[in-house]
Amino acid sequence: MNKNRLFYILPFLLLSSCFGTFSEGERLFRNQEYQKAISEFSKVLFISSTDLKSLHLRARAHEELEEYDEAIADYKTITKLKPNYAQAYAGIGKIRWKQENYVEAEKFLLIAAMHDSEDYEILFLLGRAMIMNKNYRSADEFLEIAKKIKPKEANLHFYQGIARAHSGDPLGCAASFNTYLKYASDNLTARYNRGWALMRIGYLEWAIEDFDEVLKAKPKHYEAMARRAYCYMEQDQAKACRELQTAAQGGSQFALKHLADCN
């Protein structure tokens, strides 16, 4: 090879080794080779620091490696470059959720939802964050929006039932858990909560059926026992009082409160 030609080719080869490609970084990411993916995206960003797709997947790779500070730094860079980039805010919100910082999670997921109100995952996680922050009515509202997108997602109905239970909507709570139990009939928490909601709205026989199912699986579920006893009070006071006494001894505050009904 001509020496002069070699003189020009070698620097080009050395320089090209510093270049990366998004497609190669994406391939590495899909193969769960996150450290290599980060290296590849960093090469891309060395040449083009505003490449949003590379920034996003590098942030995701850092997130998978639990390098949360680095991931958040990339997400924040994205929001500076493109303030309406919903997935970047969602990324920060999801990290804060993993860190159990639910106030910050709600804050960033709410911003994400403002920029993309049709992303189910954003709306669903936002609703859950709001439940953790005891913002139950708002949680119900956002989960209702999410339900219009994916009405058959079982977990959505479960968490909406929780939100409705805490926001004083027993009828809505019962409806949510009723739908949830179509998809997951063996979930005892949902069955207990539906029983509680049915009890609140006066459907005592149906409530007893739910509490019966819970107690068959968990005979020492004293809260279910106490509420079943409450449902029995008018038709069989003696039996109700025996169960209230047992539940109270087991630590049920509801039972302790209603033991006075037995005097």
pLDDT digits over 167-197, tens only? Answer: 989 999 999 999 999 988 888 999 998 998 8
Round the average pLDDT of the chain to a whole number and report it: 90
pLDDT digits over 43-53, tens only? Answer: 999 888 898 99
SS3 helix, strand, coil % of the chain, rounded to 5? 80, 0, 20
The model scores a pTM over 0.85: no
pLDDT digits over 133-176, tens only? Answer: 999 999 999 999 999 999 999 999 999 999 999 998 999 999 99
How large is the average pLDDT for residues 237-252? 92
How large is the average pLDDT for residues 116-123? 97
Judge contact between 170 and 201, C-beta under 8 A.
yes
How large is the average pLDDT for residues 93-118? 98
pLDDT of residue 235: 87
Contacts of 34 (CB under 8 A, 6+ apart): 28, 61, 62, 64, 65
What confidence category does residue 16 fall into, taking pLDDT thresholds of 50, 70 and 90? very low
For 185, the 3-state DSSP assignment is: coil
pLDDT of residue 18: 55
